[in-house]
């Protein structure tokens, strides 16, 4: 949900500022790009150097910045426009009052007034300040502006008192924002199973039969589905790609047998299944327990057919929307239509190795989307990230029909 998002974190001068180091780490782990703006007083509670190190971006405190012998300025407008969302945590009573009344006496407030994105604020103050009428007015005014309040919790406060006013914990802030952003997304509440990458069929302990699939198409599909609100299970054969979105569960497999078992384990409770993996059609009949020595000029391996994962899912399909891929080199359209019917699919994605820039080991792909009613929609050559969006949009159109 936060993958690829530009998040601007504003930190004000409260003791809860120490928690923002954990908040930055969680946002980075969720795949976000993070920049930090602090008030001058906030830097007394948490080090800008620490935040800069964690965020991998400068943590700024004032309009003026000095680099060696040169003096420049931090552009509040650029920072505000860069952000996809802004979080102010902790938000002290002082800063909240200034935000509510349009005051702009520091860089953080100027950035807030320049921001065009959703703004979340997490109040943090002592219980009497939290309940004060002027604080309530600030809360209500900010919410009327469209800002989103992350409520404080009850607990032990810096004063030693116990009550409401404690800033929400970093993990709760992240979950609150993810839940807010996912509301209304088209795949919210849906479970999507995706297979990706090649399978490796062992010959002996050091050799295998495989193919050139990198897994990129499946990983991009998983990212796009997660960004649309889905809970995703990504079943991947050996691949160099990784994924860190919290709503994606990565299941690593090696062989076609392992992928078959994993696909059937998660398929029953899925709403959508997309089989983008390049599964080996055959495997060695026997696997040598020791490395096979090079002793003969000729060498023969007896192969047996692997289970057809896609067809086996089509055979037990109930309400799932099942999508397959067809990588063809000749009679492309007719072969894809044949697989669509034979395997009881709702749609099939046709690739042709005759199209330059399509297929394995490429960052681009050129597809034709064919549904079970034989509606055919070709697409131009695009990046695989863009192709993933196109595929999911076509699925959504048919789910809503």
**Residue 244 shares a structural domain with residue 135:** no
**Residue 67 shares a structural domain with residue 125:** yes
Which helix (H) or strand (E) segment holds residue 149: the answer is strand 148-149
**Residue 195 shares a structural domain with residue 160:** no
**Residue 196 shares a structural domain with residue 72:** no
The domain that contains 384 carries what CATH number? 3.40.50.10300
**Residue 103 shares a structural domain with residue 250:** no
Two tokens, residue 224: 């796009």
Residue 310 inside a domain? The answer is: yes
Residue 128 inside a domain? The answer is: yes
**Residue 160 shares a structural domain with residue 218:** no
Residue 63 burial (CB count, 10 A):
13
**What is the arithmetic mean of pLDDT over 216-238?**
95
Instruction: Respond yes or no: is residue 147 known to be catalytic.
Output: no
**Residue 219 shares a structural domain with residue 357:** yes
Q: Are 350 and 370 in contact (CB under 8 A)?
A: yes
Residue 1 inside a domain? The answer is: no
Last residue of some domain: 182, 210, 236? 182
Residue 12 inside a domain? The answer is: yes
pLDDT tens digits for 143-169?
999 999 999 988 877 777 777 888 999
How far apart are alpha carbons 331 and 354 in whole angstroms? 11
Residue 267 inside a domain? The answer is: yes
Two tokens, residue 327: 């990588």
Catalytic residue, from 211, 227, 335, 344: name it: 211
Last residue of some domain: 158, 182, 206? 182
The domain that contains 96 carries what CATH number? 3.40.50.1950
Q: At what angle do helices 107-114 and 93-101 cross, to 10 degrees?
A: 40
How far apart are alpha carbons 395 and 276 in whole angstroms? 14
pLDDT above 70 (res 41): yes
pLDDT tens digits for 308-357?
999 999 999 999 999 999 988 788 899 999 999 999 999 999 987 777 76
Looking at every residue in the chain, the average pLDDT score rounds to 92
**Residue 227 shares a structural domain with residue 300:** yes
Residue 339 inside a domain? The answer is: yes
Sequence-distant (6+) residues with CB within 8 A of 368 are 333, 336, 349, 350, 376, 377, 378, 379
Two tokens, residue 92: 């002290």
Count of domains forming the chain: 2
**Residue 153 shares a structural domain with residue 198:** no
Q: Does the pTM of the predicted model rise above 0.75?
A: yes
- At residue 214, the 3 state secondary structure works out as coil
Q: Are 339 and 347 in contact (CB under 8 A)?
A: no
**Residue 240 shares a structural domain with residue 372:** yes
Q: Given 3-state DSSP classes, what are the helix, strand and coil percentages for the chain, each rounded to the nearest 5?
A: 35, 25, 40
**Residue 153 shares a structural domain with residue 201:** no
Two tokens, residue 142: 């900010």
Residue 149: per-residue pLDDT: 97
- Residue 345, CA atoms < 13 Å, CB-side half-sphere: 26
Residue 401: per-residue pLDDT: 58
**Residue 113 shares a structural domain with residue 55:** yes
Residue ranges making up the domain that contains 170: 6-182
Residue 137 inside a domain? The answer is: yes
Last residue of some domain: 154, 182, 210? 182
- Residue 247, CA atoms < 13 Å, CB-side half-sphere: 25
């Amino acid at each position: 949900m936060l993958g690829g998002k530009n998040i601007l974190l504003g930190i004000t001068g409260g003791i809860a500022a120490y928690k923002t180091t954990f908040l930055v780490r969680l946002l980075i782990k969720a795949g976000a790009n993070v920049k930090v703006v602090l008030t001058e007083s906030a830097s007394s509670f948490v080090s800008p150097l620490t935040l800069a190190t964690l965020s991998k971006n400068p943590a700024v405190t004032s309009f003026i910045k000095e680099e060696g012998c040169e003096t420049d300025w931090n552009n509040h407008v650029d920072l505000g426009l860069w952000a996809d969302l802004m979080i102010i945590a902790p938000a002290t009573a002082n800063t909240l009052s200034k935000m509510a009344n349009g005051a702009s006496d520091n860089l953080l407030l100027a950035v807030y007034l320049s921001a065009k994105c959703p703004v979340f604020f997490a109040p943090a103050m002592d219980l009497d300040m939290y309940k004060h009428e002027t604080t309530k007015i600030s809360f209500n005014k900010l919410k009327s502006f469209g800002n989103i309040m992350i409520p404080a919790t009850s607990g032990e406060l810096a004063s030693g008192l116990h009550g409401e006013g404690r800033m929400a914990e970093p993990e709760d802030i992240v979950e609150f924002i993810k839940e807010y952003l996912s509301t209304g997304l088209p795949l919210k509440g849906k479970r999507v199973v995706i297979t990706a990458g090649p399978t490796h069929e062992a010959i002996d302990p050091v050799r295998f039969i495989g193919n050139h699939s990198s897994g990129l198409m499946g990983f991009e599909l998983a990212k796009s589905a997660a960004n649309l609100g889905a809970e995703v299970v990504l079943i991947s054969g050996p691949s160099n790609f990784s994924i860190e979105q919290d709503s994606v569960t990565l299941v690593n497999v090696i062989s076609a047998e392992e992928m078959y078992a994993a696909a059937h384990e998660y398929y029953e409770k899925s709403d959508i299944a997309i089989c983008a993996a390049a599964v080996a059609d055959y495997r060695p009949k026997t696997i040598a327990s020791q490395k096979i020595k090079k002793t003969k000029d000729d060498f023969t391996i007896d192969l047996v057919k692997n289970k057809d994962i896609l067809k086996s899912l089509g055979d037990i399909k109930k309400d799932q929307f099942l999508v397959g891929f067809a990588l063809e080199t000749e009679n492309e359209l007719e072969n894809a239509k044949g697989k669509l019917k034979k395997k009881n699919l709702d749609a099939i994605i046709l690739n042709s190795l005759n199209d330059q820039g399509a297929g394995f080991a490429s960052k681009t792909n050129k597809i034709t989307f064919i549904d079970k009613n034989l509606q055919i929609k070709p697409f131009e050559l695009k990046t695989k990230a863009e192709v993933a969006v196109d595929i999911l949009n076509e699925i959504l159109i048919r789910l809503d029909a």
